[in-house]
Amino acid sequence: IVQHLSHDLQMTIIGADVIDPVKKKDIDALDAFIPLQHTSNATELTKSLSLGMRNINDGKEKVVMVDAIICASGGWEGDPTSSYLPGRLLEEDGITPEMAAEEWGKVLDKMLQMNLHPVLAAGNVASTHMANQGLFVAFGATAALMPTPGMAAYGAAKAATHQYIQTLGAMTGLGIGHNKIRKDAKKFRRGKPYLDDMTAVAILPTMLDTPTNRKFATRKDDFNAWTKPIDIAEEIGKWVVEPYLRPSSGSLIKVYPPRFQPGDDDSDGGWSKSTFGQVR
């Protein structure tokens, strides 16, 4: 996403992460970088991001306002096996209920830290630094539209992300919903002009073709059928440049993976790009 917005669309990019960029192409693509504390504490993460934006503004006559905030943070881990085993089997393996509870708690903290806290922290930055006709994008997950057996912590964190985007979208002047929600949202927007014409959207991929995800691939997986990050980057780029192409504020946008399109007498066929469709 950073590469596309910076190099292809010539946008000014401010990055923020718990890991400093090390590759030259990543460093060159960023005009500024905010190092964040590696913590599971949502309060500290939010303060760290807010402080970083304030430091960028130090010495400037006008406050730097951003046209888009894109929170691409995320990660996956399945629930610990111990959280589903009956007490008798846990004891046979030498695992006490307290040990199982601690293991479950660690996975839950990790999933919230990776998938939800950054979105909430970024939403706070929008309240002080979002420009007119701003765009707020977070990454949800197609899996979290349904029950997620074996990965309840991940599903809960992603589902919470979906709910936050739908709520944030409903609070904007471009949100959709029944009359009571729109009436309540109008009261909330008083004194918050950034919400008048901001669009909040969640992108819901299925499987992204990244080096990390390929490590978990099986022999049956065909990487051609996985969504390429550039497909998502290009879609977001269109929304930044052309606000009229954006989905309704508060939308959950599912990413449909590439499909093989058979050829005909004049062509050999090939794989399509990923497509996008509103599911909520």
C-alpha–C-alpha distance, residues 260 and 178, integer Å: 40
Map tokens 């730097």 to a residue.
Answer: 64
Whether 128 contacts 54, CB under 8 Å: no
Angle between helices 152-171 and 97-115 (to 10 degrees): 40
Map tokens 């349904």 to a residue.
Answer: 146
Whether 241 contacts 9, CB under 8 Å: yes
Q: Which residues pair with 200 in a beta bridge?
A: 136
Map tokens 């959207």 to a residue.
Answer: 201
CA distances from 161 to 126, 197, 202, 223, 235 (A): 16, 21, 8, 27, 20
Ranges of H-type helices in 63-151: 87-92, 97-115, 117-129
CB-neighbour burial class of residue 60 (10 A; exposed 0-12, middle 13-18, buried 19+): exposed
CB atoms within 10 A of CB 174: 19
Query: Which residues are catalytic, by number?
Result: 154
